[in-house]
Amino acid sequence: MVLTQLIPNIHVIGIYHSKTKVTISQLIHALTHLHNSVLIEPTGTIPTVLLGDFNIDLMYANTE
């Protein structure tokens, strides 16, 4: 996507998940809180970019 005009208001959120200090369930809880408190904009007019390193190996079966 190429922007052709400036966006006056935008949320840019960066997330890093440390797999040794934060469990996957804690990460999901934090992402849910982020979604419910920041990403749900009442007017729906502020675009959001969510960037991050989630450190989750999808090839590894983890029951945590």
Consecutive 10-residue runs of the chain (64 residues): their mean pLDDT? 81 87 89 84 74 84 62
C-alpha span between 1 and 9 (Å, rounded)? 18
Q: Helix H segments across the chain? A: 24-34
The DSSP line for 10-28 is -EEEEEE--TTTS-HHHHH
pLDDT at residue 62, as a whole number: 65
pLDDT at residue 46, as a whole number: 79
C-alpha span between 36 and 30 (Å, rounded)? 10
Kindly report whether the global pTM for this prediction surpasses the value 0.85.
no
C-alpha span between 1 and 13 (Å, rounded)? 18
- Residue that is written with structure tokens 């996957």 in the block: 24
pLDDT at residue 63, as a whole number: 54
